[in-house]
Amino acid sequence: MHLTRRTAAVLGAVALACAGCATSDVRLAAPSGVGSSAAGAAHSSAASSGAGHASPSGSATPTASPVPAAATLPLAGKIVGIDPGHNGGNFDDPAYINTTIWNGMEDETCDTTGTQTASGYTEAQFNFNVATDLQGDLVADGASVVMTRHSIQGVGPCVTTRAQIINQAHANVAIDIHADGGPVSGRGFTVLEPVADGPNDQVIGASMAFGSLVRAAMLADTPMPASDYYGQGGIIQRDDLAGLNLTTVPKILIECGNMPNPTDAGLLTSPQFQHVLAEALTAAIVAFLTGQPIQTG
């Protein structure tokens, strides 16, 4: 969820040291066990399930190694940034998350609590679950992944720091994962795209291309419709969010659904839907980074 400019402006601002903003938080998750025997086992499993590895001549020999080199994975050598919005501890530290930061265009709060469903399932939890699923899918495809937070119990970091973590990792593409807190009657996902403001000037076109792929993958691979209350056909440009204003890598933010809506909430709280959603986002990322069409599944 992202507050409107007006709502954010009325939140109190408290000067507080940004203790959670250490940039040492950058941690790259390498493809699991690359270069080790563990990698061989993982890749062997993947290869054995993929008929595409069979010899096109039909003369595959049973003694041929089923283990592809890591470089054959679609995202080998790529770095992907994932920002699971908010954090579980934000509810307990309003002084910290209401700290005012400069988002490149205007003042914004360090972070917010995020929204939740009517039953109290938090956006912070949803975002982290999807991010973790997505991380696993991307690593399996050969990517290195940088996450902006590593648990559901922490506070922050500030949205500026989240952008900085991904920029400093030189991610090839990045995604901010959220769910919206819109009107109860509203349904659907929205892809938020950056607007040129200086720092992000070089990645606007790429971010919009990536956003189109994310929208297409969501429509093709998940039961979540495009939003019927926010943006146009599931897309909107935003110039008031640090994560998009300050990015120097191609990035979009996705509101994966509307948590107050009962139908959307039923999907968003489902582990099965969260897996399907992560797979759709993976398909969009693979398509963006390889130039290949989205592999619907």
Smallest gap from Cβ 131 to Zn ion, in A, equals: 12
If the CB atoms of residues 1 and 165 are measured against Zn ion, the closer one turns out to be 1
| Residue 156 interacts with Zn ion (CB under 5 A): yes or no | no
Q: Does 142 bind Zn ion (CB under 5 A)?
A: no
Instruction: Check 108, 123, 193, 255 and give the catalytic one.
Output: 255
Question: What is the crossing angle of helices 271-290 and 204-221, to 10°?
Answer: 140
* CB of residue 85 to Zn ion, shortest distance in Å: 4
Taking the least distance from each CB to Zn ion, the nearer of 149 and 178 is 178
User: In the set 114, 156, 157, 211, which binds Zn ion (CB under 5 A)?
Assistant: 114
Q: How far is the CB of 49 from Zn ion (least distance, A)?
A: 36
Q: Could you give the CA distance from residue 175 to residue 181 in angstroms, rounded to a whole number?
A: 19
Is 178 an interacting residue with respect to Zn ion (CB under 5 A)? yes
Nearer to Zn ion, 104 or 114 (CB): 114
Q: Shortest Cβ distance from residue 124 to Zn ion (Å)?
A: 8
**Which among 19-27, 87-95, 114-122, 149-157 is the span making contact with Zn ion, rule CB under 5 A?**
114-122
Contact between 1 and Zn ion per CB under 5 A: yes
The torsion region of residue 156 among left (phi > 0), alpha (psi -120 to 50) and beta comes to: left
* Smaller CB separation from Zn ion, 85 or 156: 85
Between 116 and 144, whose beta carbon lies closer to Zn ion? 116
Q: Which residues have CB under 8 Å from 69's CB, separation 6+?
A: none
Of all residues in this chain, which one has the CB nearest to Zn ion in the complex? 178
Question: Is 149 an interacting residue with respect to Zn ion (CB under 5 A)?
Answer: no
Q: Site for Zn ion (CB under 5 A): how many residues?
A: 4
Q: Which of residues 80-99 bind Zn ion (CB under 5 A)?
A: 85
CA distance 3 to 182: 10
Active site residue 255: yes
Which residues are at the interface with Zn ion (CB under 5 A)?
A: 1, 85, 114, 178
Active-site residues: which are they?
255
